[in-house]
Amino acid sequence: MVKNKPMGLYVHIPFCSKKCDYCDFVSYSMNKKAQQQYLDALFSEIDLVKRQYIGKTFDSIYIGGGTPSIVYEGFIAGLARKLFSSFHFAEKTEFTIEINPASFTKEKFFEYVQAGINRISVGVQCLDSKLLALHGRLQSLENIKGTFDILRNSQFPNVNGDLMIGLPGQTRSSVLKTVKFLIKNKVKHISTYGLQVEKGTMTFDKIRRGKFKSIPDKKTVSWYNKIYKLLKKNDYIRYEISNFAKPGFESKHNSKYWDETNYLGLGVPSHSFVDGYRFYNTKRLDTYIDAMNDGKSAVYSKEYLSKANRRTERIMLSLRTIRGLDLEQFEQDFNENLLVSRKDQIDLLISKNMLKIEDGYLKVTDKHFYVSNSIIVSLI
Amino acid sequence: MSRQDKIRNFCIVAHIDHGKSTLADRLMEHTNTVSKRDMEEQLLDSMDIERERGITIKLTPATMKYTCNGEEYTLNLIDTPGHVDFSYEVSRSLAACEGAILVVDASQGVQAQTLANVYLALDANLEIIPVINKVDLPSADIPGTKKEIEDIIGIPCDEACEISAKTGLNINTVLDAVVKYVPAPKGDSSKPLKALIFDSYYDSYKGAVSMVRIFDGQVKVGDEILFMQTKKSFVVTEVGVYKPQAVETDCLKAGEVGYIAASIKTVSDTKVGDTITLKNNPIDKALDGYKEATSVVFCGIFPLDGDKYQELNDALEKLKLNDASIHFTKETSLALGHGFRCGFLGLLHMEIITERLEREFNLDIITTSPSVEYKVYDNKGKEYDVTNPTEMPPLPTIQKMEEPIVKMEIITPKDYLGGIMDLCADRRGVYLDMQYIDANRTKLIYTMPLNEIVYDFFDKIKSISKGYASMDYELSGYNESDLVKMDILLNGEICDALSIIVHKDKAYARGRALCEKLKTVIPRHLFEIPIQAVIGGKVIARETISAMRKDVLAKCYGGDVTRKRKLLEKQKEGKKRMRRLGSVELPSEAFVTILKLDD
């Protein structure tokens, strides 16, 4: 459907000075030597795969983590140079880096800007220092304020604030305080992520042992809806279930995940979606580095999406967006009229005011946007 | 000595887990009936479920040869099923014996089932041989166990065998005792044939095979035999004994235990308790004690996947080949689609059959709440037998209803007497009598509606008495009763599979309990779902399942879409096990919860 659209490029930086208790991403504690080895390995991977992308254009880069802002000075600049010299980029390429306020400095900021980064995503999560400390996140309110001071003073144009809801101990007022803070700092984009407590994390363990009480769904829903109203009032558009932006500031990169555009992931354990294949790299740093030293692929698993899986993904991804599901396109691609094949469910959900059809698009209504998982499940 | 003098017919009675099956295995091994190499643990329990639950459902007899004082004896071991649902089958097995080995665990002493079973054996006038098992355990108390047997059961234990069935210690003393104390059968081979069917099964080559004890006369291939209850006659194609595999012999004579095959198409013609005689030379009177296997508990069985209806039908047909006590007819439910109304001997029987359907036939099934057979009379005096709540005539047309009543006997240590009497009163029991068996044990006798015991009465008795009390019941007739049909409405629609017939006085409590329980098993939906209990249009209880307010607002981190997709697919998979009823999705557990309501 969108094969000719420019691709996205994701690079994972798997280093953190300390893992947050709730996090289940791949990260390793930092030391300069390991970082250097990793950067070398990334270069090798780029050299290994770049030939396959000759003739393809990229229009987004996203450096995520882990904590990309923690690596030594020069890492990001070097990486950026390598990327620009290895792949073909569109003129208006969105180039994002995720930063943690605890490790963000003016020097790093200059490095990023010079490297061509034009979008910074700040991992704010919550303004409550005590709560952040409780969850093992190394950043203080001062760090956060300092970060926004740097960004504001330089009039950096495109900032995203990440916000987490549902952290045990969080309150409605602390959530809203954080949102208001972001609005006041004129961020162009806000992502709100509901905490999903994953097995194997400290948070999971603490909840299981009764040290933390998880926040009931009812509460997070009401917080989410309040955030939605607040942001709407301040001219943010909810263009996807977790993503709000001022008009024109929707993330190009994030959108690729939802509209089935190709994207390439580099590093551990990055995920890619290219011409119908989903694949991802090993999550082990040593395995990755060894593979790259040997000039071998680091791909751990690769799957060609069957039609059935593509169908599931289409429903699941498009209903997360404000645009919704293009019914005509769906019928063209899957030879199935969803309004016929899922008539009972769709009729029921429309009668319950959970779904609506507008201009040939099936959409989840505002009020039920947040509970869309179950709506999606009844359609797949 | 005549042939009959060297036959001993006996069974083993024991409390569950006291080592009955292990002892049976050891006896066969010791008499070289089965070589150690071929020994499969607990040979007589041939079904997986029997082995897992440690209970015997289908009987397998074994004929053993044992030499004692230079004489070779034929020992016929007839196994007995060990549950109240099969008490009739037990009584027929006992009727085929002259003696019983009473196995008691030396570390646990006399237990409830020991008593229940030993009384059945005493009723059948069997010679009881006490055997103390597990004497090798450090916790074994041999003198104490003997004293208990003497005090409570009243059987002298001076010469009781002290064995370990597990290690094989002193197994020969048991065999010697069987020869010494169990009386030889006293039949007359020259008289007309009189044989008791104590069990039957279906063999795909031989047809329905009757397991028999010959009391008088003899039977051989070519004889025309008559089944006195069913009045059907067949020509014998094969006779034989069990070693424990079926082995063909020339003929079966008075006193012997074996099988008769006669190309009979269904086990419905070889009914347990029936008497076999010769068509041309019949006896006048059949053996006493025959009863029709009547279904007392009924429930609906439906395939979880509606497409599997035919498979379910085939599976039931196959089970029926071997178990004449299962009855089934087609049933259609609005909620569950096509399925069967099935009748069983009791709750355990029902559980076993449903478990076999799932395990042996790989079917996912839904069972509806068990019911009994009610008699309903309408205004015009017409009588209906109702085993399915959905078949109840409309309330205004009903003149009166009757429900089956049982006579219930419960034997309990006196410590639990109060709790058990409370339970009986709660279950509409009418106290008849209380007898002191000994200083410690009491027998309670009640009449009680059957529908009060089909749900969980047995479990309750066991839990109140910490497993020490035992119960037995028999149908005693029908009583008029104030019964109503209670429907359950989900989101305003009747779920027929959840309807039950209940006594008016208990309807409110039960309706409330049911609604509360359903609230816990039905998952939240996207919208609110009222659950209502309704009698004749009047709502008597209501609960509401609030709308789901939950979703995983997770990021497709670094483009990991697969993980999210798999999560949704898993959620979807979970929904496949649900039954859709109008706008409500019900997990199959919802139907089971009705059985397990705690009042």
Q: What's the CA gap between B504 and B400, in Å, rounded? A: 13
Specify if A125 maps to a domain.
Answer: yes
Amino acid at A187: V
Four-residue CA torsion sign, A131, A134, A139, A140: positive
Judged by CB atoms closer than 8 Å, whether chains meet at B553 and A221 is answered as no
In angstroms, the separation between the Cα of residue A346 and the nearest Cα of chain B is 12
Same-domain status, A69 and A133: yes
Say which range, A136-140, A278-282, A367-371, B54-58, has the weakest mean pLDDT.
B54-58
Q: What's the CA gap between B129 and B101, in Å, rounded? A: 5
Judged by CB atoms closer than 8 Å, whether chains meet at A221 and B552 is answered as no
Q: Is the preceding peptide bond at A269 cis, omega within 30 degrees of 0?
A: yes
The answer, as to whether pTM is greater than 0.80, is no
Chain A residues 45-74 with CB within 8 Å of chain B: 64
pLDDT tens readout for residues B173-197: 999 999 999 999 999 999 999 999 9
C-beta separation of B267 from B209 below 8 A: no
Helical ranges in B326-432 per DSSP H: 347-359, 417-426
Looking at A235, A258, A281, which one is the last position of a domain? Answer: A258
Judged by CB atoms closer than 8 Å, whether chains meet at A371 and B571 is answered as no
- Going across the sheet that includes B62-68, the strands are B62-68, B71-77, B7-14, B99-105, B127-133, B161-162
Four-residue CA torsion sign, B344, B350, B352, B357: positive
Judged by CB atoms closer than 8 Å, whether chains meet at B553 and A224 is answered as yes
- pLDDT of B593: 66
Residue among A221, A257, A377 minimizing CB distance to B575: A377
**Residues of chain A contacting residue B549, judged by C-beta atoms under 8 Å apart:** 217-218, 221, 370-371
Nearest to B115 by CA among B412, B348, B421: B412
pLDDT tens readout for residues A221-275: 889 889 999 999 999 999 988 899 999 999 999 889 888 899 999 999 889 999 9
Question: Residue B531: enclosing H or E segment and its boundaries?
Answer: strand B529-535
pLDDT tens readout for residues A58-74: 999 999 988 999 999 99
Specify if A283 maps to a domain.
Answer: no
- pLDDT of B558: 52
Same-domain status, A111 and A226: yes
Specify if A226 maps to a domain.
Answer: yes
Same-domain status, A340 and A226: no
Judged by CB atoms closer than 8 Å, whether chains meet at B556 and A257 is answered as yes
B298-308 core/surface letters (b: 16 or more CB in 10 A; e: else)? bbbbbbbeeeb
Q: Residue B586: is its pLDDT beyond 90? A: no
C-beta separation of A8 from A262 below 8 A: yes
In angstroms, the separation between the Cα of residue A303 and the nearest Cα of chain B is 10
**Residues of chain B contacting residue A376, judged by C-beta atoms under 8 Å apart:** 568
Mean pLDDT of chain A: 90
Q: Which residues contact B47 (CB under 8 A, 6 or more apart)?
A: B57, B58, B356
Looking at A239, A258, A277, which one is the last position of a domain? Answer: A258
Interface contact A125, partner B, CB < 8 A = no
Judged by CB atoms closer than 8 Å, whether chains meet at A374 and B548 is answered as yes
Judged by CB atoms closer than 8 Å, whether chains meet at A271 and B560 is answered as yes
pLDDT tens readout for residues A304-319: 999 999 999 999 889 9
What's the gap between Cα A135 and its chain centre? 20
Q: What tokens appear for B396 in the block? A: 């205004």
Residue with tokens 């609506």: A356
Same-domain status, A42 and A181: yes
Judged by CB atoms closer than 8 Å, whether chains meet at B565 and A316 is answered as yes
Residue with tokens 């063999």: B203
- pLDDT of B390: 85
In angstroms, the separation between the Cα of residue A153 and the nearest Cα of chain B is 30
DSSP B27-44: HHHHTTSS-GGG--SSTT
**Residues of chain A contacting residue B561, judged by C-beta atoms under 8 Å apart:** 257, 271, 273, 278, 313, 317
Looking at A258, A293, A327, which one is the last position of a domain? Answer: A258
Same-domain status, A252 and A157: yes
Q: How many domains does chain A have?
A: 2
- pLDDT of A2: 46
- pLDDT of B577: 65
Judged by CB atoms closer than 8 Å, whether chains meet at B583 and A348 is answered as yes
C-beta separation of B457 from B473 below 8 A: no
Same-domain status, A166 and A54: yes
Judged by CB atoms closer than 8 Å, whether chains meet at A380 and B554 is answered as no
| pLDDT above 90 coverage of chain B, percent | 36
Specify if A45 maps to a domain.
Answer: yes
Residue among A316, A352, A354 minimizing CB distance to B564: A316
Judged by CB atoms closer than 8 Å, whether chains meet at B526 and A241 is answered as no
**Residues of chain B contacting residue A273, judged by C-beta atoms under 8 Å apart:** 559, 561
Specify if A101 maps to a domain.
Answer: yes
C-beta separation of B287 from B274 below 8 A: no
Q: What's the CA gap between B599 and B594, in Å, rounded? A: 11
Contacts 24+ apart (CB under 8 A), B237-243: B237/B206, B237/B261, B237/B262, B237/B263, B238/B206, B241/B63, B242/B60, B242/B61, B242/B62, B242/B63, B242/B211, B243/B33, B243/B62, B243/B63, B243/B64
Range of the domain at A254: 7-258
Q: What's the CA gap between B8 and B184, in Å, rounded? A: 6
Count the residues in chain A: 380
Same-domain status, A189 and A48: yes
Q: What's the CA gap between B590 and B599, in Å, rounded? A: 17
The angle at the Cα of B257, spanning B247 to B25, to the nearest 5 degrees, equals: 70
C-beta separation of B348 from B83 below 8 A: yes
Q: Residue B407: is its pLDDT beyond 50? A: yes
Same-domain status, A88 and A219: yes
Specify if A287 maps to a domain.
Answer: no
C-beta separation of A111 from A73 below 8 A: yes
Judged by CB atoms closer than 8 Å, whether chains meet at A217 and B583 is answered as no
C-beta separation of B526 from A165 below 8 A: no
The angle at the Cα of A211, spanning A210 to A213, to the nearest 5 degrees, equals: 70
Q: Residue B40: is its pLDDT beyond 70? A: no
Interface contact A370, partner B, CB < 8 A = yes
C-beta separation of B401 from B412 below 8 A: no
Same-domain status, A113 and A236: yes
**Residues of chain B contacting residue A191, judged by C-beta atoms under 8 Å apart:** 555
Residue among A8, A12, A278 minimizing CB distance to B562: A278
C-beta separation of A34 from A285 below 8 A: yes
Q: Residue A1: is its pLDDT beyond 90? A: no
Specify if A225 maps to a domain.
Answer: yes
C-beta separation of A267 from A14 below 8 A: yes
Same-domain status, A79 and A217: yes
Same-domain status, A178 and A81: yes
Question: Which residue in A373, A375, A376, A379 has the most chain B C-beta atoms within 10 A of its own C-beta, making it the best mutation to test that interface?
Answer: A373
Q: Residue B460: is its pLDDT beyond 90? A: no
Question: Residue B20: enclosing H or E segment and its boundaries?
Answer: helix B20-30
Q: Residue B137: is its pLDDT beyond 60? A: yes
**Residues of chain A contacting residue B555, judged by C-beta atoms under 8 Å apart:** 191, 193, 242
CATH of the domain at A103: 3.20.20.70
Specify if A202 maps to a domain.
Answer: yes
What is the set of domains in chain B, with CATH numbers? 4-181 (3.40.50.300), 194-278 (2.40.30.10), 297-367 (3.30.70.870), 382-481 (3.30.70.240), 484-593 (3.30.70.2570)
- pLDDT of A273: 93
In angstroms, the separation between the Cα of residue B576 and the nearest Cα of chain A is 11
Interface contact A95, partner B, CB < 8 A = no
CATH of the domain at A361: 1.10.10.920
- pLDDT of B112: 63
**Other C-beta atoms lying within 10 Å of the C-beta of residue B442:** 20
- Looking at per-residue confidence, does B290 or B287 come out higher? B287
Confidence of residue A360 (pLDDT cuts 50, 70, 90): very high
Confidence of residue B362 (pLDDT cuts 50, 70, 90): confident
Q: What's the CA gap between A101 and A122, in Å, rounded? A: 7
- Looking at per-residue confidence, does B323 or B227 come out higher? B227
Closest-approach residue (CA) in chain A for B553 = A194
**Residues of chain A contacting residue B558, judged by C-beta atoms under 8 Å apart:** 10, 12, 64, 265, 270-271
Same-domain status, A254 and A313: no
Confidence of residue B528 (pLDDT cuts 50, 70, 90): confident
Q: Residue B87: is its pLDDT beyond 60? A: yes
Interface contact A346, partner B, CB < 8 A = no
Mean pLDDT of chain B: 84
